[in-house]
Amino acid sequence: MKRRQYLGALGALTISSTSGCATVQSAVRSGPPYFENVEISGPSEVSVGDEFDIEITAKNTGGKKGDFTATLSTGKGAFTLDQSVRIEDVQVTKSKTTTIEDIYSDYATELTYRITDYDARHSVSVKTKGLELGETFETHDGHSIAVNGVGLEKSVFLNGESKQLLSANPGNVIVLVYFTIGYEGDDERPFTSDEIVTTAGSFISESSLSTYTFDDIAGVRKEHLDLSEIEPGVQKSGWMMFEVPYSELETLGVVWDRVSTGVPEVKWNLDAGDVPIFDAEATVPDEVEIGTTGTITLEVENTGDASGTYRYGMWRTGEYDSSQSVLDEITVEPGTTETVELDVTQEHIGSYEYEILPVNETTVVEFVPPTRTVGNSYVNPDGVRITPGIGALNFDGFSDTYAYETYDGSETVRASSGKKFLFVSIDVEHTDGSSSLPHQDDFSVDISGLTYDVVETSVWGETRFVSPRSGVEYDSFSSPKESQQWLLYEVPASTQQGDVVLRYRDQDGLSDDTFGADWTVDR
């Protein structure tokens, strides 16, 4: 604490010539004036900023009248303030009193007044000043603080370069206090950020708050108040935010503790009155097919005594993006429950984490490929319709051999021992003019949990099958052909159609699995 500040807390000491007397007694000593029974009196308790008087009484037990002089001290060590005291013309055997008027302290403290030479002392406890909402507290050294409004919110929207949601933790509420603060003194930094606090909870001191305004709160749309911006001759108004347990609202107050002693100078009682209390629960799907819409359900119950606005947000993070998905609000009447449905959709396969505030729930949604039966189509995000099949009419798709055309006839290839060939027909069609077609390596088959890739025929140019069915090998670099196109796989000899799962996964350089679909045989 600065010495100047502390000495200012001791107040202005002024001495009046007010006189008083006690019972007349005979002189107990001859000779010069002699003073005994020196007393200091005054109130034992005052509030910060209130003016009070101190009286000093001395009795002359000497043989002549005279002036009583002494040093009145208060404070300790380097912060001691000494004041000369004089009581003139004290008659023999009489007591006389002088009054020090208009003393005050702008600090909550214990003031002990001492006249050491006469072992006289008196203590005045300067207590926290209690005020109500709307009242202004002014100090003698230039501070002016008014608490003009209070708002209670489970969460608030912050408006800046982007809209953000600030939420209280479960069991807590954000208390917004609207201040008007000014200063007319000569201190360059009259306030610090930790001087104004609530009697419970904690100050929300995010540095980024200074760039935001709040949406309509308690009927007032104002900016965040930064105490560090208060300068001499400057008055500012704005909100400060505190996070407080619901259980503390009934006795909640806001205080100014200017020297951080734990005993504040002033306390405003904040009558919260009837408040909304929200209990929310989110239900999130475990899986959603890509290209479709899943639903996160948010059940919001108001167990309080007043209507309130529940502000909520949903954020999505994933393999390729981190984006704010939803910011919205809903009014919930006391004793009722409202349901919010939040849509989630994704074109890419992968795990996406959703954070839901102020529920404070984070969960993972798996976006999985759709499952079709062979013969049904899937349209990928590039606008290509893909329709696969197994075999053809009167052909189950399995063969121990296949034959393809050569320049001088044909050549037959036999499957490896214990294996056979699987012929998968593939039909691709552009739906939006896209020039990109799936590569043959984007297709595989899964049999009993094992993956089998396309067999490359190792034929230069276009491979044309002649047995067991005619057609061409699927080629993503050619335009769709009128003739049948095939994908060829070598699979275990025991494989049946019902064992086969055909997988399409687009590999576009960003990820091994970005989008795709699965096909099974309808048994």
pLDDT single digits (tens) 152-202: 888 888 776 667 788 888 889 988 888 999 999 888 878 877 788 899 888
In the chain, % of residues over pLDDT 90 = 53
The residues near 24 (Cβ < 8 Å, ≥ 6 apart) are 93, 94
Q: Which CATH number fits domain 3-127: 3.30.70.1560, 2.60.40.10, 3.30.70.270, 3.10.450.40?
A: 2.60.40.10
Which amino acid is located at 19 in the chain? S
- pLDDT at res. 7: 40
* Residue 78 pLDDT > 90: no
- pLDDT at res. 424: 96
- pLDDT at res. 367: 92
Greater pLDDT, 222 or 415 = 415
* Residue 258 pLDDT > 90: no
CB of 129 within 8 A of CB of 36?
Answer: no
Give the chain's mean pLDDT: 85
The residues near 370 (Cβ < 8 Å, ≥ 6 apart) are 289, 290, 291, 292, 378, 517, 518
Please, which residues bridge with residue 95 across strands? 59
Q: Which CATH number fits domain 278-368: 1.10.600.10, 2.60.40.10, 2.60.40.720, 3.75.10.10?
A: 2.60.40.10
- pLDDT at res. 15: 35
The 10 Å CB-count burial string (b at 16+, else e) for 374-407 is: beeebebebebebbbbbbbeeeebbbeebbbbee
d(CA 288, CA 51): 72
pLDDT single digits (tens) 490-507: 999 999 999 999 999 986
Average pLDDT over residues 122-144: 94
Class of domain 371-520 (CATH, top level): mainly beta
* Residue 3 pLDDT > 90: no
d(CA 394, CA 492): 21
Q: Tokens 């108004």 sit at which residue?
A: 237
| Helix (H), strand (E), coil (C) string for 348-402 | CCEEEEEEEECCCEEEEEEEECCEEECCCCEECCCCEEEEEEECECCECCEECEE
Kindly report each contact of residues 456-464 with a partner whose C-beta sits within 8 Å and lies 24 or more positions away, as own/partner.
Answer: 457/404, 457/413, 457/488, 459/404, 463/404, 464/404, 464/405
| Polymer length of the chain | 523
Q: Tokens 């490896």 sit at which residue?
A: 416
User: Which of 207-211, 212-216, 330-334 has maximum average pLDDT?
Assistant: 330-334
* Residue 113 pLDDT > 50: yes
* Residue 6 pLDDT > 70: no
Q: Provide the pLDDT confidence category of residue 323 given band limits of 50, 70 and 90.
A: low
Average pLDDT over residues 133-146: 92
Tell me, what DSSP letter sits at residue 462? Answer: -
- pLDDT at res. 206: 57
- pLDDT at res. 207: 53
Closest CA to 389 of 479, 484, 490: 484
- CATH architecture observed for domain 130-269: Sandwich (2.60)
d(CA 126, CA 262): 14
* Residue 103 pLDDT > 90: yes
Identical fold for domains 3-127 and 278-368, yes or no, is yes
User: Which of 83-97, 237-251, 496-510 has maximum average pLDDT?
Assistant: 83-97
The angle subtended at Cα 396 by Cα 390 and Cα 402, nearest 5°, is 90
Q: Where are the domains of the chain?
A: 3-127, 130-269, 278-368, 371-520
Q: Provide the pLDDT confidence category of residue 20 given band limits of 50, 70 and 90.
A: very low
pLDDT single digits (tens) 278-313: 999 999 999 999 989 999 999 999 999 999 999 998
Q: Tokens 């935001």 sit at which residue?
A: 212
Which amino acid is located at 486 in the chain? W
CB atoms within 10 A of CB 106: 23
pTM of the model: 0.72
- pLDDT at res. 272: 76
The angle subtended at Cα 236 by Cα 230 and Cα 239, nearest 5°, is 105
CB of 111 within 8 A of CB of 74?
Answer: yes
Average pLDDT over residues 311-328: 72
- Enclosing H/E stretch for 116: none
pLDDT single digits (tens) 457-489: 766 667 889 999 999 998 866 555 556 899 999
Q: Indicate the range of 27-41, 149-163, 327-341 predicted with least confidence.
A: 149-163
227, 323, 338, 360 from 342: Cα distances, Å: 39, 15, 13, 16
